[in-house]
A and B are shown apart, each in its own frame.
Chain A
Amino acid sequence: MKQPWRQPIRSWVLIGAVIGNFVGIFVLAGAGAFVARAADPIKIGFGMALTGGLSANGKPALLAMQIWKDDVNKKGGLLGRSVELVYYDDQTNPATVPGIYTKLLDVDKVDLITSGYGTNLIAPLMAIAMERKLTIMGMFGLANNEKYQYPNYFQIQPAGPDPQTSTAIGFFELAAKQNPRPQTVAIVGADAEYPQNALVGARDLIKKFGFKTVYDKTYPPTTVDYTPIVRAIKATNADIVFVASYPPDSVGMLRAAQEVGLQPKIFGGGMVGLQFTSVMTSMGPMLNGIVNYDFWAPEPTMLAFPGVKEFLKEYQLRAEKAGVDPLGYYLPPYSYALVQVLGQAVEATKSLDQQKLADYIRATEFSTIVGKVKFGKNGEWAKGRTLMVQYQKVQGTGIDQFRGPGKKVVLYPEELKSGNIIYPYSAAKN
Chain B
Amino acid sequence: MVAGLLIGGFYAAVSLGIGLIFGLLDIANIAQPAFVVLGAYMAYVMNDSFGLDPILSGLLFTPVFYVLGAVVYRVYYASFERRGEESLRGLVFFFGLLFIIEVSLSLKFGVDYRLVQTAYTSKSIDLGGVGIAFRYLVPCVVGVAMTLALHLFLGRTFYGRAIMAVSQDRLALRLMGANPVQIKTIAFGVGIAAASLGGALLISIAPVIPSTDRDYIGRMFAITVLGGMGSIGGTLVAAVILGVAESLMATFFGPSWSLAVSFGILLVVLAVRPAGLFGR
Interface residues of A (CB under 8 A from B): 50-53, 55-56, 58-59, 92, 188, 191, 217-225, 227-229, 231-232, 247-248, 251-252, 255-256, 258-261, 273, 276-279, 282, 284, 286, 322-325, 397
Contacts and interface: CB of A to CB of B under 8 A. Distances in A.
B5 to A, nearest CB: 11
Given A227-B133, A229-B255, A251 B110 contact: no
Interface of B: prevailing SS: helix
Contacts of A217: 254-256
Contacts of A323: 107-112
B62 interface: no
Nearest to B116: A282
B103 to A, nearest CB: 7
Nearest to B131: A260
B123 A259 contact: yes
B113 interface: yes
Interface of B: 3-4, 6-7, 10-11, 102-103, 106-117, 121-124, 131, 133, 135-136, 205-207, 209-212, 215, 219, 243, 246-248, 250-252, 254-256, 258-259
B212 to A, nearest CB: 8
A247 B252 CA distance: 25
Contacts of B121: 255
15 contacts: A51-B111, A55-B111, A55-B209, A55-B211, A223-B246, A225-B6, A225-B205, A225-B243, A228-B250, A229-B251, A259-B122, A260-B124, A282-B116, A323-B111, A324-B111
A56 B255 contact: no
A259 B111 contact: no
A259 B133 contact: yes
B199 to A, nearest CB: 14
Nearest to A261: B131
A248 to B, nearest CB: 6
Contacts of A322: 110
Contact of A248 (B102, B206, B219): B206
A247 B3 contact: no
A191 B250 contact: no
Given A219-B256, A258-B122, A278-B113, A224 B251 contact: no
Nearest to B210: A51
B270 to A, nearest CB: 21
Given A228-B255, A273-B113, A252 B3 contact: no
Contacts of A282: 115-117, 207
A284 B121 CA distance: 12
Nearest to B10: A224
A232 B210 contact: no
Nearest to B114: A278
Contacts of A277: 112
